Amino acid sequence: MAADTSVTPDVWFSWNDVDVEADPAEEAALAPTGLLFDETLRDGLQAPNVTNPRLAQKLRIVDHMVRCGIRAADLGFPGSDPAAARECLEIARHVAGLRHPLSIGYAGRTHPADIHAICEIAQQAQLPVDAYVFIGVSPIRQYVEEWDVTSIERTIRAAVRSCDREGVTFVLVLEDTVRCTPEVLSRVYDVAIDTGVGRLCLCDTVGAALPGGTAALIRWTRRYFAGRGHAMALEWHGHNDRGLALANSLTALSLGCARVHGTILGVGERTGNASLDQLVLNRSLDGAAGYDLMALREYAEYAEEVLGVPIPQNHPALGADVFKTSAGVHASAILKAHEKGDTLLKDAVYSSVPAALFGREQDVLVDEASGANNVRYWLTTHGFDSGDDAVVKAVLEKAKAGRGPLTDAQIRQIIATAP
């Protein structure tokens, strides 16, 4: 049966189709110094394939965040039910009790009950809390929900008043911003200015953005507030439906967003959120201070265990296979770098990610695709004589006669029985 295409075409809009020219002078003043904001315990747990951890496990996840250098996080949705509210309070108390250097937020709808639940945590935990209050704004959401812009404006004003009364910081989270028209955003932004909102989260809720669309939306938004003399800190929240969440998030950082959101291992509904671990990796390799990649590995491995989400073998930096090679030409270069006694050089000759930063090493396999240098590298790194041609030949012959890489035990057995 043919798809129903009767939906009025004016609900379709994308910032991917908007060209907002870059201003080199303006962007030269921007620096990618924004915080990474961990959404694992909120948006990440909405994935159907993720196990909801017990409270004690959530507290350990928070500890892992802090150890690897995360300094801001969304720690739950207290308005969803009383049990969630109790857990969110215990997490806040845990952060306060250990004096973790972590700015914490909680998510909620614009409903008064959601906002009250967030404010209750701030009061009971005696801790500053950000209220990440979300509302859909795109024409397609308005059409489906039967909202209009006037009702959206009214709802935002009421939510801001509620947060102001109870003393929590209001963050305006605009769902599906990347598919919202400039006309609607202008009206919403004017409400933000009028009510004194100082933080705004732009959302790629369905993962529709291209990096160019991300840049266009951020540039246009930044200039809108600057033109009205209103200081507005921007945040970016992206999903991975088109496989571009990481690229879009790095674009957002490069354009001065104060916070960029992600989840460990990219967990989240549908195809997931931007991968927090890949954001940490890229920020660290680009020279940002304060991140501990060994602690990041431990965080990811703990998350794998308690969330029930296996780390893919080819997952950047963390997968089992990412520092493995069996190609002879690669093995030759890695062996030569190893012989120069420089770990960084060995890590860099055939990898852009230093294995040593994650407590790992280059792993040269010996299989049917290998050459003599693969065997010599193994012998060198395992304390054997790499110049014994008879041993090299015996190991290589065995490898080429089989399927898959030889194990260390198999190689040792070949060495023991070689002529």
Q: Are residues 143 and 276 in the same domain?
A: yes
pLDDT in tens, 349-389: 989 999 999 999 989 899 998 899 999 999 999 999 888 88
pLDDT of the residue at 1: 40
Please tell me what DSSP assigns to residue 2: P
Judged by DSSP in three states, 264 sits in: helix
Structural domain contains residue 56: yes
Structural domain contains residue 143: yes
pLDDT of the residue at 386: 85
Statement: residue 9 has pLDDT above 70: no
- State the DSSP H helix or E strand holding residue 221, giving kind and residue range, or none if neither: helix 211-227
Statement: residue 63 has pLDDT above 60: yes
Q: Are residues 208 and 340 in the same domain?
A: no
pLDDT of the residue at 2: 45
Statement: residue 273 has pLDDT above 60: yes
Structural domain contains residue 115: yes
Q: Are residues 271 and 245 in the same domain?
A: yes
pLDDT of the residue at 6: 55
Q: Are residues 337 and 296 in the same domain?
A: no
Structural domain contains residue 9: no
Structural domain contains residue 4: no
- Computed over every residue of the chain, the mean pLDDT equals 93
Cα–Cα distances (Å) from 234 to 9, 243, 260, in that order, read 30, 23, 9
Structural domain contains residue 318: no
End residue of a domain, out of 307, 342, 369:
307
Q: Structure tokens of 236?
A: 């970016």
Q: Are residues 156 and 296 in the same domain?
A: yes
What is the CATH classification number for the domain harbouring 265?
3.20.20.70
Q: Are residues 299 and 328 in the same domain?
A: no
The total of structural domains in the chain comes to 2
Q: What is the mean pLDDT of residues 311-325?
A: 95
pLDDT in tens, 384-404: 988 888 999 999 999 988 888
End residue of a domain, out of 307, 335, 351:
307
Domain interval for residue 160: 15-307
- What percentage of the chain exceeds 90 in pLDDT? 81
